[in-house]
């Protein structure tokens, strides 16, 4: 591990779509935004959060509510990561009720799919530079 990698924040990327996950991980690494670790499901993300520390999580919102439950557990202090861990969410769509729920869970960024690489860069970069942004 280089000294640059040692100072980069650790980012857990939770995205079930292989291609999208690979693009996000590649962009994060190439741009030097963070040290990414990937998880293809909420269940695997739970294991990662239970075993290691992450500075931020980028997670895909799913239809069955598992993502929201994971965020509730994170905010409730059920993992190794602090309850205040920075969170960004990607979603196919987001109604006002879900946007309010994500705000209650202190989601700092919301990125709607389909998005451009620039959106990923801005979202992840914004997690680590902005004190808070609206969902």
Determine the pLDDT at residue 6. Answer: 58
> What is the DSSP secondary structure assignment for residue 112, as one 8-state letter?
E
Q: Give the domains, in start order, of the chain with CATH numbers.
A: 3-129 (3.40.50.2300)
Rounded to 10 degrees, what is the CA torsion of 67, 71, 74, 76?
A: -130
pTM of the model: 0.90
Query: What are the pLDDT tens digits along the chain (135 aa)?
Result: 444 455 899 999 999 999 999 999 999 999 999 999 999 999 999 999 999 999 999 999 998 999 999 999 999 999 999 999 999 999 999 999 999 999 999 999 999 999 998 999 999 999 988 554 444
What residues contact 8, with CB distance under 8 A and at least 6 apart?
32, 33, 34, 35
């Amino acid at each position: 591990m280089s000294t640059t990698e040692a100072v980069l924040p650790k980012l857990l990327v939770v995205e079930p779509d292989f291609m999208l996950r690979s693009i996000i991980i590649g962009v994060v690494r190439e741009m030097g935004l963070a040290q990414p670790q990937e998880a293809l499901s909420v269940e695997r993300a739970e294991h990662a959060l239970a075993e290691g520390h992450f500075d931020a999580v980028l997670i895909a919102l799913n239809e069955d509510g598992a993502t929201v439950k994971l965020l509730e557990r994170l905010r409730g202090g059920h993992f190794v990561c602090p309850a205040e861990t920075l969170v960004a969410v990607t979603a196919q769509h987001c109604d006002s009720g879900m946007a309010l729920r994500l705000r209650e869970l202190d989601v700092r960024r919301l990125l709607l799919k389909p998005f451009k690489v620039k959106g990923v860069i801005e979202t992840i970069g914004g997690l680590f530079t902005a004190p808070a942004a609206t969902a």
